[in-house]
Amino acid sequence: MEYNISIKQYEGPMDLLLDLIKKNEIDIYDIPIHIITSQFLEYINMSKELNMELTSDFIVMASTLVEIKSKMLLPKFTFDEDIEEEEEDPRKELVDKILEYEKFREISKELKEAAEYENKTFYKLQEDFSNIDSLDFLKNLSKESLSQAFNNILKRAVDKNEVSNISIDSYSIEKATKDIKNKLERYKEFSFLSLISDYPIVEEIIVYFLSLLELVRLGEAYALQDNNFSDIKIVRRL
């Protein structure tokens, strides 16, 4: 079997052995030690010719491979011809070490990939609301009253549209946010109904309502209500 070694730097002798085993498509439990040994030694010789630095681990492993190869070439002797002695495979210890190294290499690879993934992840730091007194930007609005006000506005819009034919326009959060900001620059306070058209569709109301909630969340405006059935009042934050 011929094999051309691609000269590259390996992390250690075990890394080289695994590479040779996989490229030769060898059963790791039945390593043809003479092939692996010759290819391992070839790598060392080529590395020396290219002045590549090799650690002493490579030399020790080369000696180990040669020793295993020698043991496998020796004839098997028994003192009693009638008794067959089962000798331990000289490759067993090496195979165990290779399997252990492969396991840790895979774990190391997974940890490296996880670290690379985490490095590409950005986390938003938790916002500090300790200096905000009960989230006063909602003023006298509770979640329930805000929901009720929104439902009242929707109901009024539906009632109007039952007797009117309107053309459907396209609405976006960006445009609605821009409209609210422009109005906040001109007026200290104004009603939510003043933002929408005389015969609004549900899409228009929802888009402007979501834009208002975002501006309130960002602290650029207050939202308040005089009573449970009144319009939502938008107030500029000073």
Q: Report the pLDDT value the prediction gives residue 222, as an integer from 0 to 100.
A: 83
pLDDT at position 125, please? 62
Predicted confidence at residue 126, as pLDDT, reads 61
DSSP 8-state symbol, 132: S
pLDDT at 115: 79
Whether residue 46 contacts residue 5, with contact meaning beta carbons closer than 8 Å, is answered with yes
Q: Which pLDDT value is given to residue 159?
A: 61
Whole-angstrom distance, CA of residue 214 vs CA of residue 165: 31
Question: Phi/psi class of residue 16: alpha, beta or left (left: φ > 0; alpha: ψ in -120 to 50)?
Answer: alpha
Task: Kindly compute the dihedral angle of the four CA atoms of residues 87, 90, 91, 95, in this order, to the nearest 10 degrees.
Answer: 80
116 Cα distance to chain centroid? 9
- Name the helix (H) or strand (E) containing 38: helix 33-49
CB atoms under 10 Å from CB of 53, counted, come to 8
Of 184, 179, 195, the residue nearest 235 (C-alpha): 184
Residue 55 to residue 12: CA distance in whole angstroms: 8
From first to last of its 238 residues, the chain has per-residue pLDDT tens of 444 545 677 878 888 899 898 888 888 888 888 889 998 998 888 887 776 777 788 888 888 888 888 888 877 655 555 555 567 788 888 899 999 988 888 888 888 887 777 777 666 666 554 554 444 555 555 666 777 777 777 777 666 555 444 444 567 888 899 999 999 999 988 988 888 877 778 888 888 888 888 888 888 888 887 766 667 888 888 6
Instruction: Give the pLDDT score at 49.
Output: 74
Spell out the domains of the chain, with CATH numbers in brackets. 13-119 (no CATH), 136-236 (1.10.10.580)
Tell me the pTM.
0.42
pLDDT recorded at residue 163: 43
Burial-class residue 211 by CB neighbours within 10 Å (0-12, 13-18, 19+). buried
The secondary structure of 73-93 as a DSSP string is HSPP--S-TTS---PPPTTHH
**Using CB atoms within 10 A of its CB, is residue 154 exposed (0-12), middle (13-18) or buried (19+)?**
middle
Comparing C-alpha atoms, which of 28, 9, 8 is closest to residue 18?
28
Residue type, 19: D
Residue 57: predicted pLDDT:
85
